[in-house]
Amino acid sequence: MLYGAECWLVKNSHIQKLKVAEMRMLRWMCEHTGKDRVRNEIIREKVGVALVEDKMREVRLHWFGHVMRRGSDAPVRRCPQRIARRENYGAFLMDDLPLVKSLVKKLANNLDVPVSCKIRVFPNLQDTLKYAKMLEDAGCSLLAVHGRTRDEKDGKKFRAKWETIKAVRDVVRIPVLANGDIRHMDDVQSCLEKTGADGVLSAESLLENPALFAGYRTAEWGLSTAGIKGDDKLDQAELLIDYLKLCERYPAPWRMIRSHVHKMLGEWLRIQPSVREDFNQQSKLTFEFPYDMVNRLRELGVSVPLYVKGTREEALSTNGDAA
């Protein structure tokens, strides 16, 4: 919401934490404790408060209209990680399409919310098209397609097959979201034009630059492009500060926070490896350390701005075509 993204994952664990916190508050309001053996449903009925899931659904619908949270209604078949192979889920369910079909059909017939699916493609185009049609026929209402096979894990080595996503879009009647090679807003526009998709997804690029959908890009995609200029008002350190403030309000595991710090400040820490080593050596982190680390990097003169696309006149001037 801060930087242009329109939908994100809310995990079931987040909802469970909200449920616990809310029930503590409701019991306090009703002057009950856990020892009173009064069921949560009775307290909720007494106060007249809806379930957390229902309230979150209303908020999401208010924000985004038809966009729903991807929760238990969205089978995830894209994950090519080793644990997915071992536990037989994610993209490795592609080896058992009858099972996939039965899962989607079961959900579609028993849920009162739309079922969405996210897939990777097969090496053979026709296999991918049959896969997409099978999901649609089973009851899938929205299909996200990552244009790489499950073996193509390195996004920098393997380009996403946008032409395959377009072929899927042409054979199904349900909305299709394109995933793969979305590094900045020019990619968003190109992907939508070339695939005909109804929307796009981004993963790795957003971890490095959460402001991608607000029009910002990293130096890798800014310095060599005409009409692109540095923005002195926003950089990844500012994005990290925003993220840390959110984590203080909505607690997250430190292992996740560490990972996001490395993603957002990767280039900054490469310039100052001693700061990176100090960060890695912290066995027990508090919020004070990453805040101080940002200040330390700035004091050391590290400045890696994000870039924004300028006006047409600026682009012409950069190319030397302006009068």
Is 79 an annotated catalytic residue?
yes
Handedness of CA 295, 299, 302, 304 (dihedral sign): positive
Closest CA to 240 of 289, 204, 196, 188: 289
Q: What is the DSSP letter of 135?
A: H
Helix (H) or strand (E) holding 229: strand 228-235
As a whole number of angstroms, the distance between CA 159 and CA 79 comes to 17
For the chain, the first-to-last Cα distance in angstroms comes to 40
| Alpha helices by DSSP H, the chain | 12-29, 40-47, 52-64, 82-87, 97-110, 125-138, 162-171, 185-195, 204-208, 236-249, 254-264, 266-271, 273-280, 288-299, 312-319
- The catalytically annotated residue of 30, 79, 140, 247 is 79
Residue 201's DSSP bridge partners are: 179
Burial status of residue 201 (CB atoms within 10 A of its CB: 0-12, 13-18, 19 or more): middle
Q: What is the DSSP letter of 121?
A: P
As a whole number of angstroms, the distance between CA 116 and CA 265 comes to 33
Active site (catalytic) residues: 79
